[in-house]
Amino acid sequence: MSGFWIWWIAGVVLIGAELMIGTFYLLAVGVALAFGGLAAWLGASVPVQFVVAGVLGLGLTIATHRWRLARAMPPAEPPLDVGHAVRVDTWRPDGTARVTYRGAEWDAELAAPDVPRRETMYITAMRASVLVLSDRRPTA
């Protein structure tokens, strides 16, 4: 089997694997391997084939990474509940509480140990289904 076929088969295998995972990095390396096969088909020596595939693989991987960073999702907005007042039903000794909010009872905890415990507190964050409370309304 000619050397260029080995390059092309390896490139097709990586491109096929890329279709399964969808990260685009294997696509970049698969295309680089295809160009290594093109260099072999044009009669380049084996070291030149590896240089072509290696340089293109590195360049295309960097380009793919930059493209993915440019298309990355912006940071998530804070939850819509942040800043709303809640009524504390009971305080527990460990600083957690049961609060009534949106017609349901929630577990809550203090944002910091030194936050004063009051009957009306403000949501500063959410950790899973636990409300994080402070005695002051968070600023926007």
pTM over cut 0.85: no
Average pLDDT over residues 59-79: 85
103 vs 78: which has the higher pLDDT: 103
Terminal Cα-to-Cα distance of the chain (whole angstroms): 67
Which pLDDT value is given to residue 137? 79
* Structural domains of the chain, with CATH: 3-70 (no CATH), 85-134 (2.40.50)
Which pLDDT value is given to residue 40? 95
103 vs 6: which has the higher pLDDT: 6
Average pLDDT over residues 45-52: 96
Question: Which one, of 51, 57, 42, lies nearest residue 2 by Cα?
Answer: 42
Which pLDDT value is given to residue 140? 59
* Per-residue pLDDT tens over the stretch 106-127: 889 888 877 777 888 888 888 8
The token duo for 100 is 């009534």
Average pLDDT across the chain, whole number: 88
Which pLDDT value is given to residue 126? 85
Which residues, other chains included, contact 47 with Cβ-Cβ below 8 Å and sequence gap of 6+? none
Residue 136 has pLDDT above 70, yes or no: yes
